[in-house]
Structure 1
Amino acid sequence: MALTLRTDSELEKALDALVEAEGVSRQEVIRRAVIDRAERGTRRHDLDVVLDAELPRYAEALERLGQ
């Protein structure tokens, strides 16, 4: 699948720096960034689910610790 990405000078500079540092193509830098962002979003969602379920259980103790 093809994709056109419009860039500006800031993005061009950042891409060039990452290409140089990582020794991979621009396509690979962008691919890694998108996959990393998607994985972080999934982990964040999973953490939110656990916290929503568990925090009420410890709310009183956390309140006392905060005082």
Structure 2
Amino acid sequence: MAMTLRLTEEQERALALLAEADGVSKHEAAVRAITATAARRVQTERIQLSREGRERYGSLLGRLAR
């Protein structure tokens, strides 16, 4: 899917630095940044759900484990 990405000069410089640091194109650097951010966000949400589940069902889980 094609899309246009409009960046400020500062964002353009940041993207260029990421691309140069990884030895990839700016396109690839943007794709990697999006993918990495999405993975972190999903992982953080799963951790939060796990924490909430342990708090809510901890005593029940403890009884079931016996």
Tell me which interval the TM-score lies in, with the shorter structure as reference length: 0.7 to 0.9
2:55 aligned with 1:55 = yes
Structure 1, residues 8-67: CA drift from partner, whole Å, max 9, x if none? 111111011112111100110000011111111110111011110113548xxxxxxxxx
Runs of 5+ consecutive residues of structure 2 not aligned to the other structure: 60-66
2:8 aligned with 1:8 = yes
Runs of 5+ consecutive residues of structure 1 not aligned to the other structure: 59-67
Give, in whole Å, the separation in 1 of the partners of 2:26 and 2:54. Answer: 42
Give, in whole Å, the separation in 2 of the partners of 1:36 and 1:29. Answer: 10
Structure 2-normalised TM-score? 0.77
Give, in whole Å, the separation in 2 of the partners of 1:37 and 1:12. Answer: 18
For 1:16, give the aligned amino acid: A
2:37 aligned with 1:31 = no
Divergent runs of 4+, >4 A = none
Cα RMSD over matched residues? 1.5
